[in-house]
Amino acid sequence: MSELIVNYDNLLKKIKHKYAIPVAAAKRAEDLEDFGRPKIDPALAKKAGDNINIAYKELEEGYIKIKNEQMLDILIPKVK
């Protein structure tokens, strides 16, 4: 069982598109499964337990970023 807790509020401060966060984490988790190595401390990666938790922690700590995040701005509704 993993113990690592990712602060989702911190992620939302860095990435304003809340639906892009799980998509980016899932893509990174797939990369870790196929051929990637965690960019976080190995002890922290071991504590995380699985690739999805590692991916969320890498996003939170800024080791990975979403490419072309500005393109997602069209998805934000312009409500007045």
Domain definitions of the chain by residue range = 8-75
CB atoms within 10 A of CB 33: 11
pLDDT per position as a tens digit, 27-67:
999 999 998 899 999 888 888 889 999 999 999 999 988 87
For the chain, the straight-line distance linking the first and the last C-alpha, in angstroms and rounded, comes to 45
pLDDT of 9 over the 70 cut: yes
Q: Whole-model pTM? A: 0.79
Q: How far apart are CA 13 and CA 27, in angstroms?
A: 20
